[in-house]
Amino acid sequence: MCVPGDADIETPVSLILAGKFCQLPVRLIDYVIAHEMIHLKEHSHSPAFWRMLGEAMPDWEVRKNDLAAAQAELVWSVEGEA
């Protein structure tokens, strides 16, 4: 589900994505979801975190870089919205 705010995992497990992420290509949304899901096992961005992400998504580094580039183009809010 895409809603305003940051990507976060709540307890019980639910993943809420900021609305801005809905503007991304599916492959980058997949990266955001995989990244957050790995945080269920490894809370920090430790070497173990990146290793697990690599096992789940071998091209995560490319997607991470593509996401960083794409974020500059995202519409963060709609004029007139809070």
> What rounded mean pLDDT belongs to the chain?
82
Within a domain: 2: no
Within a domain: 14: no
Q: Can you give the pLDDT at residue 78?
A: 56
56: helix, strand or coil: helix
Pair 27, 35: CB distance under 8 Å: no
Q: Residue 37: give the domain boundaries.
A: 24-74
Rounded CA gap, 80 and 82, in Å?
Answer: 7
Within a domain: 18: no
Within a domain: 63: yes
CB atoms near residue 14 (< 10 Å): 9
Within a domain: 33: yes
CB atoms near residue 27 (< 10 Å): 13
Between 11 and 69, the higher pLDDT residue: 69
* Number of domains the chain is built from: 1
Within a domain: 4: no
